[in-house]
């Protein structure tokens, strides 16, 4: 047990893929999660407790050299509380910021990053002014704890807006003006121990029902890449960041609009396992334990498709040439991310065709499954 | 726990890399090994017992859908004994054959594969005739349980031959005539559930002190590739083989000379993790659980170098551009395989230079380590 010890709060699929990347590096991961049979807990030691259990977090902190997390809604206060006994990477400050959509917007503004027009909603009076300032539709988001479309609504009238805020529980919120975007892209970067910064290429993301469905990389646009990297570099340095950071953008006719950050490995970077020389998981680990970063060069063009709600039969998936399967070891449940698949190609149009065939095939497998096994 | 369950006898580095390949496929591995902290036991459930403990093997067999092994010296008799209760893949018959160098030679001959001149040594009288029939030097090998140069000696006189046989414990042995080979190559192939057979390209192997040191792939020679594939196809079909099979060859001026088989994933195929579309580990698992095989196309030219006896500092290794580390989680010990590294390139001469630099660097890291930390 000579390698660095990394504690991971949360043992979902991100933690699982971190642990899978850690073993070949000789890095020892251990988790904190409420479920022993969680995706990560199936393959590394786990301390079973709620992720906001202060004693459990402190106990994990004492067992490891570095503490990280696979879920952005980890308690920033709890992370702060263990800073005296363990290296917490990324740090509590940016975690707290990423959990607050208003603070996030203010950071974007401070760094000169365009962002959606918005205003804070703290009272019914704020709601009344929203349409005048933002027009319709408006995206109402709780300021805290948003994830994968949860805690946010698109509304088209004052009545809908009021109802949406009520249904969210009248939390501190922000109202955002609608951004007419052409596409969504994300940038994943990593900062190491000696201010060493590396970026993956921009990734194009397609959502469905508020969840990431497909990512395709690289999204090639040198000017946008340089712009996004420059913003992220400033952010990484401002927070003396260590590890992988993700920024999601809308791409509009006027360029990039910053949407949100995730201070962790990200679903839109899963393609890096096969598609980049060093995966986002390996580079996050290298960064947080102080090892040199690995190359982020791509191995071609690559598409990642999430498997949500129901797993297609393994033998059908693996009969698809060149498909790489990532099963997260979860029980199926509607809307749940159960795994993903990756396709890699040298040629973009070939990749596009293969992805279209894959998506058509999945639809048919899922509807066949629904017919034969559905309620 | 809906995926196939695979039992693996032996939890060394091969088992570890099988389990790492199994998780993304949703395949559940569990081990049998004498050490809980073995490379495989660190990351999957393990039944701690001797690998030749009949009760433990039977208990593992009852817990899984398919039984395999990561060590070729598993007891073929024990495997045979559990055939009634579990699918054993590859089968006991070829395991037994691979453990007996004389039977192996006879199989090669039966399939028309050239092999080294040899004779069985069962008595001192046999020793006396060896030089007349084979010339010097002679390679004396115990018939059973040879592995990585253990149980074999190169001798140059009758006195040395007699002494070598005594030192081996006068076991049933074979004496082999010296093969003047230009290089050593291996072929790794895999046979699936529906007689689906795929091959990786020939790999060139360099040994040092009787152990594999470096593998470089592909070794490109279409005629040799076709010849080797034809022999292996015959062998795979004859045994209704399921899983990965390796054949090691000497390459001489007269072509390929079969040296030995290994009915399992093989050190000379570790490069497939980064260098092939589907690794030998994933394809072995796919084959034995009855999933379609994955593509074996290479991603360029690739070199694998074993890390033996002492691990160089992790931060020095990972500072080498494009290097992929595989740490087996073992305690260092002279002569022990502790890990391997892989380099991948598009260009063979660039790869050769990078490998030379890596090897020079490792020498210097190891001698520096010996100076500062040696006895």
In tens, the pLDDT along A89-134 reads 999 999 999 999 999 999 999 999 999 999 999 999 999 999 999 9
What are the pLDDT digits (tens) for B169-219?
A: 899 999 999 999 999 999 999 999 999 999 999 999 999 988 999 999 999
CB B22 within 8 A of CB B64: no
Any CB–CB contact under 8 A between B311 and chain A? Answer: yes
Tell me the average pLDDT across A254-275: 97
A45: chain B residues, CB-CB within 8 Å: none
H or E stretch covering B21: helix B13-25
pLDDT digits (tens, 9 = 90+) for B58-116: 999 999 999 999 998 899 999 999 999 999 999 999 999 999 999 999 999 999 999 99
Query: What's the DSSP call for residue B232?
Result: H
Query: Which residue in B has a C-alpha nearest to residue A340's C-alpha?
Result: B24
- CA atoms of A228 and A184, how far apart (whole Å): 13
Is the pLDDT at A25 greater than 70, yes or no?
A: yes
The pair of three-digit structure tokens given for residue A50, joined into one six-digit string: 């709620």
Is the CB of A135 inside 8 Å of chain B's CB atoms?
A: no
* Residues on chain B touching A23 (C-beta within 8 angstroms): 16, 20, 42-43, 327, 329
Lookup result for tokens 């998780």: B23
Beta-carbon-side half-sphere exposure of residue A328 (alpha carbons within 13 Å): 28
Instruction: Give the pLDDT band (50/70/90) at residue A368.
Output: low
Mean pLDDT of A29-38: 97
Under 8 Å between Cβ of B121 and B173: yes
Would the pLDDT of A6 be above 90? yes
3-state secondary structure of A347: coil
Contacts of A290 in chain B (CB under 8 A): 315
Give residue A146's pLDDT: 55
Q: Residue B318's pLDDT is what?
A: 97
Residue A25: phi, psi to the nearest 5? Answer: -85, -5
Q: Report the C-alpha gap between B357 and B319 in whole angstroms.
A: 13
% of chain B beyond a pLDDT of 90: 92
Please report where in the chains the tokens 């040092």 appear, as a residue.
Answer: B208
Write the CB contacts of A12 (distance below 8 Å, at least 6 apart in sequence).
Answer: A33, A38, A39, A40, A70, A71, A328
Minimal Cβ distance to A315: which of B291, B327, B339: B291
Within 8 A of A339 by CB-CB distance, chain B residues are 26
Q: Nearest-CA distance from A56 to chain B in Å?
A: 22
Residues paired with A120 in a beta bridge? A174
Q: How far away is chain A from the Cα of B80, in angstroms, using its nearest Cα?
A: 28
A 278-307 near B (Cβ less than 8 A): 286, 290-292, 294-295, 299
Question: Cβ–Cβ of A318/B291 closer than 8 Å?
Answer: yes
Say whether the ipTM exceeds 0.90: yes
Q: What is the pLDDT of residue B150?
A: 67
State yes or no: pLDDT of A248 exceeds 50.
Answer: yes
State the pLDDT confidence band at B365, using cuts at 50, 70 and 90.
confident
- Does any CB of chain B come closer than 8 Å to the CB of residue A354? no
Q: Is the separation of the CB atoms in A7 and A288 below 8 Å?
A: no
Cross-strand pairs, B203? B186
| A294–B327 C-beta distance less than 8 A | no
Residue B104, H or E segment: helix B101-110
DSSP label at residue B84: T
pLDDT at B89: 98
All domains in chain A, ordered by first residue: 5-88 (3.40.50.20), 117-177 (3.30.1490.20), 183-373 (3.30.470.20)
| B221 within 8 A of B202, measured Cβ to Cβ | yes
The per-residue pLDDT for range B213-247, each reduced to its tens digit, is 999 999 999 999 999 999 999 999 999 999 999 99
Local structure of A27: helix, strand or coil: coil
- A210 Cβ contact partners less than 8 Å away, ≥ 6 residues apart: A148, A149, A150, A152
Task: Using alpha carbons, list the distances in angstroms from residue A319 to A60, A197, A357, B286, B291.
Answer: 42, 39, 13, 11, 8
Among residues A266, A260, A298, which one has the least CA distance to residue A145? Answer: A260
Q: Omega of the bond prior to B218 within 30 degrees of 0, cis? A: yes
Structure confidence at residue A231 (pLDDT): 98
Handedness of CA A348, A354, A360, A363 (dihedral sign): negative
| Alpha-carbon dihedral B348, B353, B354, B357, rounded to 10 degrees | 160
CA–CA distance, A94 with B119 (Å, rounded to integer): 72
Q: Residue B374 — pLDDT band, cuts 50, 70, 90?
A: very low
Distance from CA of B305 to the nearest CA of A (A): 15
Residue B85, φ and ψ in degrees, nearest 5: -115, -10
pLDDT band at A152 (very low <50, low <70, confident <90, very high): confident
Which residues, in sequence order, are CB contacts of B268 under 8 Å at separation 6+?
Answer: B186, B188, B203, B205, B212, B215, B246, B248, B304
pLDDT of residue A32: 98
Q: Please give the Cα distance from B277 to B79 (Å, whole number).
A: 31
For residue B315, give the nearest of A306, A82, A4, A237 by alpha carbon.
Answer: A4
pLDDT band at A1 (very low <50, low <70, confident <90, very high): low
| Cβ–Cβ < 8 Å for A199, A189 | yes
- What is the predicted pLDDT for the residue at A210? 85
Answer for the pair A203, A268: CB distance below 8 angstroms, yes or no.
Answer: yes
pLDDT band at B375 (very low <50, low <70, confident <90, very high): very low
Closest approach of chain B CAs to the CA of A66, in angstroms? 16
Name A301's Cβ contacts closer than 8 Å, sequence gap at least 6. Answer: A216, A217, A218, A275, A344, A345, A346, A347, A348, A351
Distances (CA, A) of B193 to B6, B8, B266: 15, 19, 21
Selecting from A25, A26, A314 the residue whose C-beta is nearest the C-beta of B26 gives A314
DSSP 3-state of A189: strand
Residue B148 has pLDDT above 60, yes or no: no
Peptide bond into B137 cis (omega under 30): yes
| pLDDT given at position B2 | 80
Looking at the complex, report in whole angstroms how far the Cα of residue A145 sits from the nearest Cα belonging to chain B: 29
Q: Which of A255, A279, A276 is nearest to A266 (CA)?
A: A279
The residue with tokens 């990324």 is: A90
Cα–Cα distance, B105 to B101 (Å, whole number):
6
Residue A149's pLDDT band, with cuts at 50, 70 and 90, is low
What dihedral do alpha carbons A358, A359, A365, A370 form, nearest 10°? 170
Q: What is the pLDDT of residue B370?
A: 47
Contact A43 B25 (CB under 8 A): no
User: What is the residue whose two structure tokens read 């390796």?
Assistant: B246
Name chain B contacts of A329, Cβ cutoff 8 Å.
Answer: 3, 23, 26
Q: Which residues pair with B88 in a beta bridge?
A: B67
Indicate the angle between helix axes A124-134 and A158-168, nearest 10 degrees.
130
Rounded (10°) angle between helices A13-25 and B13-25: 160
Q: B179 CB contacts (<8 Å, ≥6 apart)?
A: B116, B250, B252, B257
Bridge partners of residue B258, in order along the sequence: B115, B249
Q: Which residues of chain B have a CB within 8 Å of the CB of A294?
A: 318
Mean pLDDT over residues A27-55, rounded?
Answer: 97
Residue B144 confidence (pLDDT): 86
Q: Work out the pLDDT band at B1, boundaries 50, 70, 90.
A: low
A144: pLDDT confidence band, cut at 50, 70 and 90? confident
- The tens digit of pLDDT for each residue in B7-55 reads 999 999 999 999 999 999 999 999 999 999 999 999 999 999 999 999 9
Mean pLDDT of the A331-346 span: 96
3-state secondary structure at position B348: helix
**Residue contact B299–A294, C-beta within 8 A:** no
Classify residue A147 by its DSSP letter: B
A chain contacts of residue B43, beta-carbon cutoff 8 Å:
23, 43-44
Measured in angstroms, the CA of A199 and the nearest CA of chain B are apart by 15
- Write out residues 21-40 of B within 8 Å (CB-CB) of A: 23-26
Task: Please check whether residue A45 touches B, CB under 8 A.
Answer: no
Quote the pLDDT of residue B363.
Answer: 85
Distance CA A33, CA B139 (A): 57
- Mean pLDDT estimate for chain B: 94
Residues A263-282 have a mean pLDDT of 98
CA distances from B54 to A187, B45, B81 (A): 55, 19, 9
The reply to whether B324 touches chain A by the CB within 8 Å rule is yes
User: Are A23 and B24 in contact (CB < 8 Å)?
Assistant: no
DSSP B26: T
Alpha carbons A107 and A112: distance in angstroms, whole number? 9
Task: Give the E-state strand segments of B200-356 in sequence order.
Answer: 203-208, 211-217, 243-252, 255-262, 301-308, 323-327, 337-345
Return the bridge partners of B5, or none: B28
pLDDT for residue A220 is more than 60: yes
What letter does residue B253 receive in the DSSP assignment?
T
Task: Tell whether the model's pLDDT for residue B371 goes beyond 80.
Answer: no
> Which residue in B294, B318, B322 is closest to A291 by CB distance?
B318
Using a CB-CB distance cutoff of 8 angstroms, which residues of chain A are in contact with residue B294? 318
Question: Taking Cα atoms as reference points, which of B289, B255, B352 lies closest to residue B64?
Answer: B289
What is the C-alpha separation between A4 and A168, in angstroms, rounded? 42
What percentage of residues in chain A have a pLDDT greater than 90?
A: 92
CA distance linking residue A263 with residue A93, whole number of Å: 10
Q: What is the pLDDT of residue A150?
A: 67
């Amino acid at each position: 047990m000579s390698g660095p010890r990394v504690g991971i709060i949360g043992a979902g699929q991100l933690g699982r893929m971190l642990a899978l990347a850690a073993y070949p590096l000789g890095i020892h991961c251990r988790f904190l999660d409420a479920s022993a049979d969680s995706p990560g807990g199936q393959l590394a030691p786990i301390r079973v407790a709620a992720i906001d259990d202060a004693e459990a977090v402190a106990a994990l902190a004492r067992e490891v050299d570095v503490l990280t997390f696979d879920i952005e809604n980890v308690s920033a206060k709890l992370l702060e509380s263990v800073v005296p006994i363990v290296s917490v990477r990324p740090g509590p400050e940016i975690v707290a910021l990423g959990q607050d959509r208003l603070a996030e917007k203010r950071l974007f503004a401070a760094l000169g990053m365009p962002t959606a027009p918005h205003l804070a909603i703290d009272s019914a009076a704020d709601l009344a002014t929203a349409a005048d300032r933002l027009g319709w539709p408006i995206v109402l988001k709780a300021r805290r704890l948003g994830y994968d479309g949860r805690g946010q609504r698109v509304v088209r009238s004052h009545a809908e807006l009021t109802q949406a805020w009520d249904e969210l529980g009248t939390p501190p919120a922000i109202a955002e003006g609608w951004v007419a975007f052409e596409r969504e892209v994300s940038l994943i970067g990593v900062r190491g121990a000696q201010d060493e910064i590396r970026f993956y290429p921009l990734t194009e993301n397609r959502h469905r029902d508020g969840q990431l469905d497909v990512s395709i990389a690289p999204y090639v646009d040198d000017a946008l890449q340089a712009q996004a990297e420059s913003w992220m570099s400033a952010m990484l340095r401002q927070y003396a960041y260590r590890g992988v950071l993700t920024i999601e953008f809308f791409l509009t006719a006027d360029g990039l609009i910053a949407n949100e950050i995730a201070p962790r490995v990200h679903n839109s970077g899963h393609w890096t396992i096969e598609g980049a020389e060093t995966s986002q998981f390996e580079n996050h680990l290298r960064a947080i334990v102080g090892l040199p970063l690995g190359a982020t060069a791509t191995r071609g063009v690559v598409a990642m498709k999430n498997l949500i709600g129901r797993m297609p039969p393994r033998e059908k998936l693996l009969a698809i040439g060149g498909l790489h399967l990532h099963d997260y070891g979860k029980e199926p449940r509607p809307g749940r991310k159960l795994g993903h698949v990756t396709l890699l190609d040298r040629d973009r149009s070939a990749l596009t065709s293969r992805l279209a065939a894959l998506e058509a095939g999945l639809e048919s497998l899922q509807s066949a499954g629904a017919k034969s096994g559905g309620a």
